[in-house]
Structure 1
Amino acid sequence: MAAAAAPLAAAPATKGSLREDLTCPICCDLFREPVMLGCMHHFCKPCISRYWRTTHGPVTCPQCRKEFTCKQFQTNYLVAAMVEKVRASTSHTYIQNLEKQLRETLENHCLRREDLSNSIRKEKDKMETIKRLGADLQARVRGEFGALRQILHDEETRMLEQLRREQEEELEKVQHHLEAIKLAMREVEENMRVLEEASATTENIVLTELPQLRQCPQVDSAPELDTNAFSSKYLAPLQYITWRKMFKSLKPGPSPLTFDVDTAHPSIRVSRDKTVAVEYDSVTWHTDNNKRFLQCVNILASQGFYSGRHYWEVEVGTKPKWDMGVASEAVDRHSRIKLSPERGYWTLRLRNRNEYSAGTQPWTRLQLSSSPRRLGVFVDCEERWVSFYNADDMSLIYSYTNGPRGKVFPFFSPCISGSSQEPQPIRLLHYPPVAMSG
C-alpha cells in the first residue's frame, strides 16, 4: 500500500495551488462571477464593482494599480467553469464520496489480493500433489517392471543353470569314455614294449614261447552326441516360451472367467464350456432363482471379487452393440433399470457400431481412434478403480475412480444386433499358463 500513498498525497497540493489561482484578491475566496480587467487580472464581479464604487478619481486595478479610462471588465466563462469544478471537488459531500470510493476500491483490492493468494496457494498445493503422486506412481511403475525383470532374471538364471548341468553331464560322459580309451592305450603301449624287447633278444636266444602280455581292456563304443537334442530346447523361441510362462506369475494375471448360467436372462444362451454368450430373439426358459436377470438382457460371471486387483479380457469382435463392466452383488435383477454407478453398475457401452459411452448418468460420450475387437477390464478393489482398455494395443478407454464397495461380479449384456444375420457372441478369453518341462 506504500506505493499507492504517494499519488494520493500529491493530489491536495495540486488542488491547493489551483485554488489559490482561482481566489479573488479582494475577498480572498473563490471567484464568484469572475471577470477579467484589461490588465488580465481577475476578480469577483461584485468585489470589483464594490471596490470601484468606493474609489475617487480614475479607476485602477486593485492588484497592479493600472488606470483605466472607464469601468469595464469582461466575464471569463472558462475561469467560472474551473471555479465551479474546484468548488464541487472541495465540497464536504464530494470528499465524503471520494473517501468512500477510496475505501471500497481498497477493500476490493484487498479481497482480490486474498483471492489471488488463495489461488497461488491452491496451485502450489496442486504442484505438490502432482509431485507426490508422480513419485508414488514412479515407485509403482518401477515395482511393476522390477517384478517383470525379476521373473525374467529368475527364468534366465534357471535356464542357464540347466544348460550348465546338461553341459557338464555331456562332458562327463565324454571324459569317462576318454579315460577308458587312454587306459586301453597305455595297456597296448606296454604290450608293444614287451613284444619289442622279446623281438630284440631272438638273435641270441631261441624263442620258445611268446612273452606274457597284459590283458587289454575292452573299450565301449563312443556315446553318440546328439547335438540337435542337446541344443533344441535352447534354440527354441525362448522369448515366446518365457512370455507364456509369465502368465502364472503376473499380478494380476488374466482371470479365467466363466459365465454364470443361473444369472442369464432367458434370451441369452451360453456355450457348454461357459465362455460364449449369445442373445437370441427367442426365449429359453430356465429354472427360476433369485440370481437371474428377468427384465434386462444381462448375465454375470461366476467369479466375484471383493479384494485385490483383477483383469480379464472379452472378445466382442464386430458386434454393433454391447454393454460391459462390473456389477455389485446386490443389484436389482428383476426390474428394468438404467445402468449407472448409483444403481451398482460401472460399465462401458457400444451402440450403432461406433458410438462408445461410459455408463454414467447422463452418458459420457467417448471418442476412440479405433474400434476394439477385444476389451480388457481392470478392477482394483482397494483403490476402487474400474478401467477399460482396448486389449488390442492396451490403450486406456475410460476409468471410474470412485468404483464399487463390497463384492462385484464381471457384467455383460450381449445385445441383439437387430439385423437378419446370425447373432454375434461375446467370448471370455482365457490365457492358461502352459506347463513346460525342464
Structure 2
Amino acid sequence: MATAAAAPAHVAPSTKSSLREDLTCAICCDLFREPVMLACMHHFCKSCISRYWRGTQGPVTCPQCRKEFTCRQFQTNYLVAAMVEKVRATTSDTYIQNLEKQLRETLESHRLRREDYINSIRRDKDKMDTIKRLGADLQARVKGEFRALHQILHDEEMCMLEQLRREQEEELEKVQRHLEAVKLAVRELEENIKALQQASAATDNIILSELPQLRPCVQVDNAPQFDSNGFSNKYMAPLQYITWRKMFSCLKPGPCPLTFDVDTAHPSIRVSRDKTVAVECDCMMSYTEHNKRFLQCVNILAAQGFQSGRHYWEVEVGSKPKWDLGVASEGVDRHSRIKLSPESGYWTLRLRNRNEYSAGTQPWMRLQLGSSPQRVGVFLDCEERRVSFYNADDMSLLYSFTNGPRGKVFPFFSPCISGSSQEPQPIKLLHYPPVALSG
C-alpha cells in the first residue's frame, strides 16, 4: 500500500487506474471512507479496520502485512481523505461528461483557429504575389520612362529602381513576418490538437482528471495592410517631368501648353489676350452666347481636350485664397449649379479660406499639406484613369484619383469669387519654355 505522499497527482495511460487502486481499502475493496493509517503505514477505512479487529483478544494485526500491535491505535489521514474525495468526484458521470464536453469544445476551437490561420496564410501569399506582380509592372514602367531620356538619365533611373526595390522588399518583409508568425501559430495549435486528440482517444480507457498540458497559443497580430495605390503613386507619377525639373534642357516634350477656351468662360471671368490668364471681375463680360459656356458657376475649361495618352500641365495659383482646378468630362452640365465630384464628371483639387485644401470627392476630403503650393501640377493618365495633383515646386503628391474619367476630358479651372476688397488674383497657365501665342 503506497503512502499518501507517494500517491500520484496525475493519471497517465501507463499507470491507468493506479491512483484508484492505491486509494482502495484492502478490506472492503472500495474507495476509502474515513481513511486511517496504522503504525505500519497501511491505510484502511476506519469502520473496516474497527470491524476487522472486533472480537479479537490480545494483540491485533494489520490485515495486509500481519504486523502485530499491542494496542488498537490508528490515526486519521486527512490528505488521503482529500485525495479520495477528489477521485470520487472526478469519477462521477456528471464530471466526466463536463470534461468530455470541454475537451470537444477546446478541440473544435483549436481546429477553427487553425483554419483561420491557414486562410490567413493563403491571403498573405496572394498578397505577396500581388506585391511582386505590381512591383514588376512598376519596374517596367519606370524603365520605359527612363529609356526615353537615354544614357544621360541612366543614374536617375537606377536610383529610382533601387528605391522601388527597397520599398517592395519592405512590403514583402512585412507580409513575410506575418506569414511566419501565422505558420508558427498553426504549428503550436497542431501540437495542442494532437495532445487533445490523444487525450480524447484515451478517455475510454482511463479516468481523465484534467485537460492535458497545452502549449500557450501564439498571439498573431492583424495582417499588415498593403495599399497598392499608395505603393504605386510615386511610380505612376509623371516621372519624365519630375526628372526634367532636375534636367530641364533634356526633356522632350515638355508640359502641355494649354490655353483657356473663352467660349466656356463664365461671364464673371476675364481672360487675357494670350488666353493663359483668367481672373474674376466685378462686371459681367459681354461674351457671345455659346452652349459650351458655364452660366451658373464661375468656371472655365482649357481649349485642349484629351481622351488618350498621358498629359501634364501646371497652373500658377499664387496666394489666391480660393480656387478649384482639375479635369472635367466633355459632357458636364454647364448651365446648372452642380457639386464638383467624380459622380458629376469632375476630378478636382480645391482651396478655401487660404489654407483649407480638399480633394473634390463627395463629401470633400480634407488634405493636410506641409506647405501651400504656389503652382499646382496636374497629371492625367487616360489609360490608367488617374488624375493626380502635385506641388509643382517640389513635385510632392497632393492627391490622386485612381478611378478617373472615361472618354474625353478637358482641363478645368475656377478662379472663384473671393468676395474680398482686395484686387482679385489670377490663375495662370504655365508654359515651358514660354511660347508666344497670338490672341
Shorter-chain TM range is: 0.5 to 0.7
Cα distance in 2, alignment partners of residues 64 and 361 from structure 1: 94
Rounded Cα–Cα distance in structure 1 between residues aligned with 2:360 and 2:325 = 9
- Given the superposition, is the C-alpha separation of residues 431 and 107 from structure 1 closer, same or farther in structure 2, using an over 3 Å criterion? same
Matches within 5 A, 1:246-325: 249-250=252-253, 253-280=254-281, 282-284=283-285, 286=287, 289-325=290-326
Contact 1:387 1:398 in 2 (8 A): yes
**What is the root-mean-square deviation of aligned Cα atoms in Å?**
3.3
Q: Deviations over 1:23-71 (max 9, x none)?
A: 2222222222323334433222332233233655544332233444555
Taking the aligned partners of 1:134 and 1:58, their CA distance within structure 2 comes to: 96
- 1:131-152 deviations in Å (ceiling 9; x for gaps): 3322222222222221122799
* Separation of aligned partners in 1, 2:269 and 2:69: 120
One-letter amino acid matched to 1:364: M
Matched, 1:380 2:381: yes
**AA in 1 matched with 2:401:** Y
| Matching residue of 1:138 | 139
Amino acid at match of 1:256: P
Which residue number in structure 2 is paired with residue 194 of structure 1?
A: none
**Please, what TM-score do these two structures have when normalized by structure 1?**
0.67
Closer, same or farther in 2 for the Cα pair 1:342/1:47, shift >3 Å? farther
Shift of 1:301: 1.9
Q: Does 1:393 align with 2:394?
A: yes
2:150 paired residue number: 149
Rounded Cα–Cα distance in structure 2 between residues aligned with 1:425 and 1:116:
59
CA spacing shift, 1:55–1:152, aligned 2, 3 Å? closer
Task: Provide the aligned length of Structure 1 versus Structure 2.
Answer: 337
Query: Would the aligned equivalents of 1:61 and 1:67 in 2 still touch at CA under 8 Å?
Result: yes
Cα 1:75–1:309 change in 2 (3 A) is: same
Deviates further, 413-422 or 281-290: 281-290
2: CA distance, partners of 1:280 / 1:433: 26
Question: Are the aligned partners of 2:301 and 2:412 in contact in 1 as well (CA < 8 Å)?
Answer: yes
Amino acid at match of 1:317: G
Give 1:344's aligned residue. 345
Deviations for 1:90-138, whole angstroms, at most 9, x for unmatched residues?
Answer: 3333333333333332332233223223323333333332233222222
Are the aligned partners of 1:256 and 1:432 in contact in 2 as well (CA < 8 Å)? no
How far off is 1:409 after superposition?
1.7
Question: Within 1, Cα distance between the matches of 2:318 and 2:383?
Answer: 31
Cα distance 1:375–1:36, how it changes in 2: closer, same or farther (>3 A)?
A: same
Larger mean Cα displacement after TM superposition, 425-434 or 281-290 = 281-290
When Rg is computed on C-alpha atoms for both structures, the one with the higher figure is 1
* Deviation (angstroms), 1:369: 2.9
**Cα distance, 1:290 vs structure 2:** 4.4
8 Å CA contact retained: 1:417, 1:424:
no
Cα distance in 2, alignment partners of residues 282 and 71 from structure 1: 126
TM-score normalised per structure 2: 0.67
Q: Secondary structure of 1:372's match?
A: coil
Instruction: State, as a whole percentage, how many aligned pairs show the same letter.
Output: 84
Q: Secondary structure at the match of 1:148?
A: coil
Return the letter of the residue paired with 1:99: E
2:359 alignment counterpart: 358
Aligned to 1:84: 85
**Structure 2 unaligned residues grouped into runs of 5+:** 1-9, 155-243
Aligned residue for 2:403, secondary structure, equals: coil
- Equivalent-residue separation in structure 2 for 1:15 and 1:354 (angstroms): 80
- Distance in structure 2 (CA, Å) of the matches to 1:10 and 1:80: 18
Deviant stretches of 4+, over 6 Å: 150-153
SS in 2 for 1:257: coil
Distance (Å, rounded) in 1 between the aligned partners of 2:333 and 2:51 = 104
One-letter code aligned to 1:122? R
CA-CA distance at 1:353 after TM superposition: 2.6
Correspondences of 1:57-72 after superposition (within 5 Å)? 57-68=58-69, 71-72=72-73
The one-letter code matched in structure 1 to 2:38 is L
